[in-house]
């Protein structure tokens, strides 16, 4: 297993993982008709790691680091927001997600990041369980509704 920074050569694999993540989140803005460019915007300006197994990318993590050092009322100087995280469906339940999460967390620690947050679909119970196992806790709840009939 190899966890490394993503390169431009990983784009096709990353797009596949982003499509899988969007489908599992049932995210209408990123459905099957969504362009590759729009999907890649999600991880623009992110620190993106990929996980390889036998030369193939099987997982990815993309986190955006925010610097609040100029804001005296901020709870910390740096915080991170997890924009995308996923392991190929066929490779799950083998510890790969935990290993990738640990590598991401170590990278953020090296950069002095003090807090990590993310959004997870209310319908994606498996992801919620995974993030709880990784030590995250619910801090707020986002609610919404469609106004289009």
Residue at 149 is within a domain: no
- The pLDDT, as a whole number, for residue 47 is 95
- The pLDDT, as a whole number, for residue 75 is 63
- Alpha-carbon distance 140 to 119, whole Å? 10
Residue at 145 is within a domain: no
| Res. 23: pLDDT tops 90 | no
Domain membership of residue 7 as a residue range: 2-133
CATH number at residue 105: 3.40.630.30
Residue at 140 is within a domain: no
Residue at 10 is within a domain: yes
- The pLDDT, as a whole number, for residue 16 is 93
pTM to 2 decimal places: 0.86
- Alpha-carbon distance 90 to 84, whole Å? 18
The residue ranking higher by pLDDT, 104 or 145, is 104
Residue at 126 is within a domain: yes
**What confidence tens digit (pLDDT) does each residue in 65-110 have?**
988 877 777 666 889 999 999 999 999 999 999 999 999 999 999 9
At residue 64, φ and ψ (nearest 5 deg) are: -100, 125
Domain count across the chain: 1
């Amino acid at each position: 297993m190899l966890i490394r920074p993503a390169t431009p050569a990983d784009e096709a694999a990353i797009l596949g993982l982003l499509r899988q993540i969007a489908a599992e989140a049932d995210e209408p803005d990123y459905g099957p008709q969504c362009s590759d460019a729009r999907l890649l915007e999600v991880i623009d300006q992110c620190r993106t790691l990929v996980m390889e197994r036998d030369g193939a990318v099987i997982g990815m993590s993309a986190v955006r680091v925010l610097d609040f050092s100029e804001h005296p009322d901020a709870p910390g100087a740096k915080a991170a927001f997890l924009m995308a995280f996923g392991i190929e469906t066929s490779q799950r339940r083998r510890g790969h997600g935990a290993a990738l999460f640990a590598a991401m967390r170590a990278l953020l620690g090296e950069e002095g990041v003090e807090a990590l947050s993310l959004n997870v679909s209310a319908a994606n119970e498996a992801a919620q369980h995974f993030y709880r196992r990784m030590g995250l806790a619910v801090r707020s709840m986002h609610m919404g509704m469609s106004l289009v009939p």
